[in-house]
A and B are shown apart, each in its own frame.
Chain A
């Protein structure tokens, strides 16, 4: 199951060129670009690992792409996303976030039903991948 989240989630995966163009847009707006990765793609998992620090004083997209290339080379089989942070007053939050790398095979989620008294049911989404310990998931 192809996991989608963030901006461009309805589009096919972006090529390197397209990623660079988006990064270029972010830098033109003076947003700081950061890279994060994870092997726990649950939609409620907000805490991905940071790949290096957010990059604040880079002028050209290729500077960010150096780090993106390195992140993909180091974590080829994990989810990697780019976050663009707007530090301007009133925003101070992420303005753009999109996935730039995903594992080759994504096993998807199981819907788990827990039954309670009466006929109540609680639902949980459980990622098949997280059955294995972190590092062996994909």
Chain B
């Protein structure tokens, strides 16, 4: 064929992003819209790279992103995969993820913010800076708040080090919209918005199954039923945070299971007993009696 022919496929395969996307697909239950957006972005990046190679006009694509969605919907995990994809396509040099929140960026007194923010930016060089609950950075009700300063430094760094790092802002959708509304400078630099939907009950059961596999526990049939009931009840309680709530619930089950085994320690215990979570371990949860489990109330 003629020399001009471009082998899109070979670039795609050389970059090995397929494995990153496959991993994302495998690792995360559901999240179909997120997955399709991620592969869209990945294809855009491949094509931009090709355009660059053949000398077509290709501005360095803006890579900064915003992930919106409720807690526990997989934003951090997807950010990790995104960092991996960006690294595989040579858009960042190292591909590590530096996760931070307002506390890591904003100082407590005058002159404290700049060094703190710069410290995080320095760490994120060559990788991805993931700012969780980014809308906390901006507090319009307090005009002396140092968050504004952090945003300005961040914007400056995004301008000066365009090729050196990528910023991913994450948070609840409504608050993030307000945040972008109040910070047009930030909004104009963030090109990709990905919205993370809540998981439905079936997906949450699937997630719980996967967690149990990695933790090497099993549910009795009664416990399985109790779990799906638990999920639909838990959803209606305050502070429901999707997969994270499930993880916490399972951790408490382990606690109850351990106590049950310990209390009955006069009988001998088999290997299966140690791995088995019974219905009563789940049913003991306060969610079934109309309350919220301990430690759940003070969560974000």
Cα A63 to Cα B122 in complex, Å, equals: 4
B127 located at the interface, meaning its Cβ lies under 8 Å from any Cβ of chain A in the complex: yes
Kindly list 12 other residue pairs between chains A and B, CB separation below 8 angstroms, not including A59-B125, A59-B126, A62-B125.
A57-B123, A58-B123, A58-B125, A59-B94, A60-B127, A61-B126, A62-B161, A63-B125, A64-B122, A66-B125, A66-B161, A67-B122
Q: Can you list, as one digit per residue, whether each of B80-115 has a CB less than 8 Å from chain A (1) or not (0)?
A: 000000000000011010000000000000000000
Instruction: Tell me if A55 is interfacial: C-beta within 8 Å of chain B.
Output: yes
Contact with B along A84-103 (1 / 0, CB 8 A): 00000000000000000000
Pairs A–B under 8 Å by Cβ, sample size 30: A55-B122, A58-B123, A58-B125, A59-B94, A59-B96, A59-B123, A59-B125, A59-B126, A60-B93, A60-B94, A60-B125, A60-B126, A60-B127, A60-B164, A61-B125, A61-B126, A62-B125, A62-B126, A62-B161, A62-B164, A63-B122, A63-B123, A63-B124, A63-B125, A63-B126, A66-B121, A66-B122, A66-B125, A66-B161, A67-B122
Closest to B94 in A: A59
CB of A66 within 8 A of CB of B127, answer no
Q: Does B118 contact A (CB under 8 A)?
A: yes
| B residues 58-97 touching A (CB-CB < 8 Å) | 93-94, 96
The minimal Cβ–Cβ distance linking B100 to chain A, given in whole angstroms, is: 13
Q: How far is the CB of A35 from chain B (nearest CB, A)?
A: 12
C-alpha gap A58/B96 in the complex (Å)? 11
CB-CB under 8 A from B93, the residues of chain A are: 60
- Please name the residue on chain B nearest to A67 by beta carbon: B122
Q: Is the CB of A66 within 8 A of B123?
A: no
Could you tell me how many residues of chain A have their Cβ less than 8 Å away from some Cβ of chain B?
A: 11
Return the 9 tightest CB-CB contacts between A and B, nearest first. Answer: A60-B126, A63-B125, A63-B122, A60-B125, A62-B125, A62-B164, A59-B94, A60-B94, A59-B126
A61 to B161, CA, bound (A): 12
Instruction: Report how far A58 CA is from B122 CA in the complex, Å.
Output: 7
B123-161 contacts to A, CB under 8 A, are: 123-127, 161
CA A66 – CA B156 in complex, angstroms?
12
B residues in contact with A63, CB < 8 Å: 121-126
Q: Report how far A57 CA is from B122 CA in the complex, Å.
A: 9
Q: How far is the CB of A28 from chain B (nearest CB, A)?
A: 10
Residues in B with CB closer than 8 Å to A64 are: 122
Q: A43-73, CB under 8 A of B: which get 1 and which 0?
A: 0000000000001011111111011000000
Distance of A88 Cα from B58 Cα, bound (Å): 44
Question: Nearest CB to that of A53 among chain B residues?
Answer: B119
What is the distance, in angstroms, from B21's C-beta to the closest C-beta of chain A? 24
For B118, the closest partner residue in chain A by CB is A66
CA distance A61 to B126 in the complex (A): 8
